[in-house]
Amino acid sequence: MPLELKRSLQELKTSLPKHLRRVGLKHFQLGGEYTNKYFQGVVVLSYPLTRLGNGKAFFKIVLQESENSYFRPDTINILLFGRLAEDCEKVVHQEDTVVIAGFNVTKSASKDGRHCCQLEVPDEAGSSVFISSKSRTTATSETATISVAPKYIYTPLNHLKGGTVVNLYGVVKFFKPPYVSKGTDYCSVVTIVDQSDTKLVCTLFNENRDALPKIYKNGDIVRFHRIKVQEFNGQFQGVTSNGFAALTFDSTVGAPVVPRTTSKLFTFTDEDKKTVENLRVWVARNFSNSAPAADLSSIQPQMFFDLTCQLVGKAKVDGSSYLLKVWDGTKCPFPSWKVLIKEDDLEGDGVLINQLKNLSVDVIVYDNHVQLAKSLKVGNFIRMYSLHAKSQSPEDKPDVSYIQFHLHGGTGYGRGITVLPENHPDVKELKVFLDSQATRGYADSENSSSQEPEHSYLTLGSCLEEYQQLSVTVLTDHQHFDVTTVNTILNSRVPQQYRIRAKLRRFEPKKLHQSVKLLCPQCNSLQEVPDVSEFDALLQASSKHPNPNLQNIPFCQSVVWDIENQGRRYVAIHFVTRYELLQEPEDSLIMIEGGTVPEILRLSKKFKGIIPVRSIEDNLVSLDLSAPFFWQGNIQYYGCRRCSDPKAMPSLHALAAQQNALWESTTIAEALGIVLLQYVFVMKFTLDDGTGTLDAYLVDSEKFFQIPASEILTSYIFQDNMERIMNKLCPTGTNPDDFPSLECFIKSYYVRDGTEEQLSFQIFDTTIAEDV
DNA sequence: GTTTAGGGTTAG
């Protein structure tokens, strides 16, 4: 039984459950409703503890409502039972102030001049006795709470009824962090869902922001007590009712089950723990983590995202907007808009703000968010939800763009700000990272401090200058690497990885189609992409005489066409079935014997995929691997002649028997024992950083250009994009000094050239910036 | 013992 000590009557009062309302003696009557009521009085008399006939403990006290009351009677009998009686008997003394809740009002059994009703406090869930002693000075026993933990029943979301007050568990599917409503309260809208897959939108109000659930992300688990269910627009909604209380839990499976709440008084049983743990498992299985969280280094223009960051400065902009300067330790890959404000208006450590100016970004928050933004403290760790990274161009320079960060007005899509507590795991992690970045940041500014302008804030003009030096490539990993000069790299003979910043002087080959090759991921051999028109002879050589015995392949339905009606050329088509059923053509895999390249190309527009085959004895096998073994849409897939160990077509049987097997090049190649060749761009970049030049190879299937090498030869759009990118990296007719910079990772490795080993370089983990 | 908002991007 919980026993809580209080230091004063004041503390006792503030710790009483908020849903309890005081009720006076004169309101007691038989048959009244006292569920959420408490009675307070001073002990004027207490009787010795006795046992009832059933052995249950019984303790009686008399409480006086007020010493100076005009009203008579002003005392009432209180009857306590069971464990509650035993515990109270130990601590209750005359003159103590006692608050009782969870009682029944019955007719007084004795004619003693006291109130005609008596209060029975059963040894049951929900019964509580709060005791505050008047004058004893021993510190530990001044006040006490004695209560029987209420037994809460939780209603599954698919069992809700309108007009009821219930207790709920749920997983947050959507939420608006608490914001200032137009009324008197904070508001938070929370959509929850539970294992019944039923959704409930809850609209929660409280004048105290901390009383609303402390939700930090979708997937968090909440427990709501005393929430009212009502119908709105034909659907149930949850709204706060008297005594609403919320607990919030992180949903990480295995993490300690610690509720987030500011309430000191709440029940939390082993059963609650189990419920949370079960919900965690459910979340792990059923919630895809599609949260739009991002750090500054991974933002894309026009995206809305959640940013976890630290506030380094803030300033008033005008009546409806407010500036927050924040950082998360990563660098925004685009030039970002800096707001010009008066230095006097800026709150925060000027030196620090200056040191972090290349890492921090300016966020403008609007309208309803201004009030909350003002209340933030510099140094706070905050999360902003649905922040807009808006791409803008100055009017006179449409080819230049920069990012503005807006937290627009309104609360749609959960737009808002929360302060994260210092002990939040994400904050702990961020602190460590920020510390490491700050150290680097200080070093940078020390080197260049002599050239620093006096004022700390970049105007738009200087932001554009910065753009000139921005890299047209983005590093996708290892951002902590420092830049190494080409000169240093050339003098090193040890294979290793570097980050460099240089300009692209030249590249080869000049003709795009010459840069696409086929790479074997196993033996690393490269080969040219053959011209498919050369395969007609090979394709047709296979089937002058389709074998009629083959028309009964277990997982195929076959037809033979006499193409030229002269018996001179036959084409056999074997439709791969699933469970002996044909599928829709666009889902079907077919095998073809005979057929010309144009015929196969035409068929591959209609069918999911095509495997050219020939028959050997009574089996079907792939053609020679110099021809594509699989055709899909416009793409032909080749196998490595050195590494593959081709198997006959019945090897596809297992794949055909799988319920949802996709007819993809990778799975088919695997089933047929073929090592799939990868389409790659192979290019040589000559990079110059002023200290020297080096040739680095790019071998890339689609990461660097964000264009699939397999599709570029058949797509004019991709070819246009590619040309545009290369012209941006290495513009023709431009002074090479004005070329943009490329930031790349390169690794050095040895290649044997005859008897000599030569150091070569290859680009990796680098990609073209989105705005290029 | 009311009102607020009642999920579904600003338009700066």
CB A412 within 7 Å, strand B = yes
Mean pLDDT in residue range A250-257? 91
State which residue has its Cα closest to the C1' atom of B10.
A408
> What does the radius of gyration of chain A's CA atoms come to, in whole angstroms?
38
Residue A445 confidence (pLDDT) = 45
Of A202-206, A264-268, A462-466, the range with the lowest mean pLDDT is A462-466
Is the pLDDT assigned to residue A511 strictly greater than 70? yes
How much is the mean pLDDT over chain A? 85
Residue A45 confidence (pLDDT) = 92
Nucleotide nearest to A230 (CA to C1'): B6
Nucleotide nearest to A184 (CA to C1'): B4
Is the pLDDT assigned to residue A550 strictly greater than 80? no
State which residue has its Cα closest to the C1' atom of B8.
A413
pLDDT one-digit tens code per residue, A596-638:
898 899 999 999 999 999 888 778 888 889 999 999 998 999 9
CB A750 within 8 A of CB A495: yes
State which residue has its Cα closest to the C1' atom of B11.
A408
AA letter at A422: E
Distance, angstroms, CA A287 to C1' B10? 29
CB A507 within 7 Å, strand B = no
Residue A541 confidence (pLDDT) = 67
Count Cα neighbours of A634 within 13 Å in the Cβ-side half-sphere: 9
Would you place residue A400 in the very low, low, confident or very high pLDDT band (cuts 50, 70, 90)? confident
What is the C-alpha separation between A404 and A390, in angstroms, rounded?
A: 5
Is the pLDDT assigned to residue A144 strictly greater than 70? no
CB A19 within 7 Å, strand B = no
pLDDT one-digit tens code per residue, A558-596:
888 877 666 677 888 888 888 777 888 888 899 998 888
CB A414 within 7 Å, strand B = yes
pLDDT one-digit tens code per residue, A432-442:
888 877 666 54
Distance, angstroms, CA A434 to C1' B10? 31
Nucleotide nearest to A189 (CA to C1'): B7
Distance, angstroms, CA A402 to C1' B12? 16
CB A301 within 7 Å, strand B = no
Q: Which residue has the higher pLDDT, A392 or A452?
A: A392
Is the pLDDT assigned to residue A321 strictly greater than 80? yes
Distance, angstroms, CA A390 to C1' B3? 36
Mean pLDDT in residue range A519-524? 89
Distance, angstroms, CA A481 to C1' B10? 38
User: Where are the extended beta strands (E) located within A133-208?
Assistant: 143-147, 164-175, 179-180, 186-193, 199-206
CB A401 within 8 A of CB A392: yes
| 3-class secondary structure, A743 | strand
Is the pLDDT assigned to residue A456 strictly greater than 60? no
Would you place residue A549 in the very low, low, confident or very high pLDDT band (cuts 50, 70, 90)? low
Distance, angstroms, CA A319 to C1' B4? 22
Would you place residue A458 in the very low, low, confident or very high pLDDT band (cuts 50, 70, 90)? very low
Is the pLDDT assigned to residue A37 strictly greater than 80? yes
Distance, angstroms, CA A335 to C1' B11? 22
CB A530 within 7 Å, strand B = no
Is the pLDDT assigned to residue A444 strictly greater than 70? no
Would you place residue A457 in the very low, low, confident or very high pLDDT band (cuts 50, 70, 90)? very low
Chain centroid to CA A695: how far? 40
Residue A464 confidence (pLDDT) = 27
Residue A336 confidence (pLDDT) = 92
CB A203 within 8 A of CB A411: no
Is the pLDDT assigned to residue A16 strictly greater than 90? no
Q: Judging by beta carbons within 10 Å of its beta carbon (0-12, 13-18, 19+), is residue A11 exposed, middle or buried?
A: middle
- β-strand A589-593 against A609-616: which pairing, if any? parallel
Residue A684 confidence (pLDDT) = 93
Residue A724 confidence (pLDDT) = 87
What percent of chain A stands above pLDDT 70? Answer: 90
Q: Considering only residues 644-673 of protein chain A, which place a Cβ less than 7 A from any atom of strand B? A: none
Is the pLDDT assigned to residue A443 strictly greater than 50? no
What percent of chain A stands above pLDDT 90? Answer: 45
Would you place residue A184 in the very low, low, confident or very high pLDDT band (cuts 50, 70, 90)? very high
AA letter at A351: V
| 3-class secondary structure, A432 | helix
Is the pLDDT assigned to residue A119 strictly greater than 70? yes
Residue A462 confidence (pLDDT) = 28
Nucleotide nearest to A318 (CA to C1'): B12
Distance, angstroms, CA A389 to C1' B10? 11
CB A640 within 8 A of CB A525: yes
Is the pLDDT assigned to residue A249 strictly greater than 50? yes
CB A629 within 8 A of CB A657: no
CB A517 within 7 Å, strand B = no
Protein contacts on strand B: list nucleotides below 7 Å from a Cβ: 1-12
CB A226 within 8 A of CB A241: yes
Residue A441 confidence (pLDDT) = 52
Is the pLDDT assigned to residue A545 strictly greater than 80? no
Length of chain A: 772
Is the pLDDT assigned to residue A513 strictly greater than 50? yes
pLDDT one-digit tens code per residue, A326-336:
999 999 999 99
Would you place residue A448 in the very low, low, confident or very high pLDDT band (cuts 50, 70, 90)? very low
CB A388 within 8 A of CB A408: yes
State which residue has its Cα closest to the C1' atom of B1.
A242
Nucleotide nearest to A387 (CA to C1'): B9
Would you place residue A770 in the very low, low, confident or very high pLDDT band (cuts 50, 70, 90)? confident
Is the pLDDT assigned to residue A665 strictly greater than 70? yes
Distance, angstroms, CA A523 to C1' B2? 77
pLDDT one-digit tens code per residue, A66-85:
877 777 788 999 999 988 89
Q: Considering only residues 358-377 of protein chain A, which place a Cβ less than 7 A from any atom of strand B? A: 366-367
Is the pLDDT assigned to residue A465 strictly greater than 70? no
Distance, angstroms, CA A98 to C1' B4? 36
Nucleotide nearest to A175 (CA to C1'): B7
CB A218 within 7 Å, strand B = no
Q: Which residue has the higher pLDDT, A642 or A463?
A: A642
Is the pLDDT assigned to residue A226 strictly greater than 70? yes
- For the ranges A405-414, A478-487, A645-654, A727-736, the maximum mean pLDDT occurs at A405-414
Nucleotide nearest to A182 (CA to C1'): B4
CB A292 within 7 Å, strand B = yes
Q: Considering only residues 320-359 of protein chain A, which place a Cβ less than 7 A from any atom of strand B? A: 320-321
Mean pLDDT in residue range A35-57? 90
Mean pLDDT in residue range A722-733? 87
Q: Please give the structure tokens belonging to residue A467.
A: 């753009």
Q: What is the DSSP string of A96-113?
A: -EEEEES-EEEE-SS-SS
Mean pLDDT in residue range A152-181? 95
Q: Please give the structure tokens belonging to residue A137.
A: 């000075």
| 3-class secondary structure, A402 | strand
Q: Model-level pTM?
A: 0.51
Residue A3 confidence (pLDDT) = 45
Q: Give the containing element (helix H, strand E) for A419.
A: strand A416-419
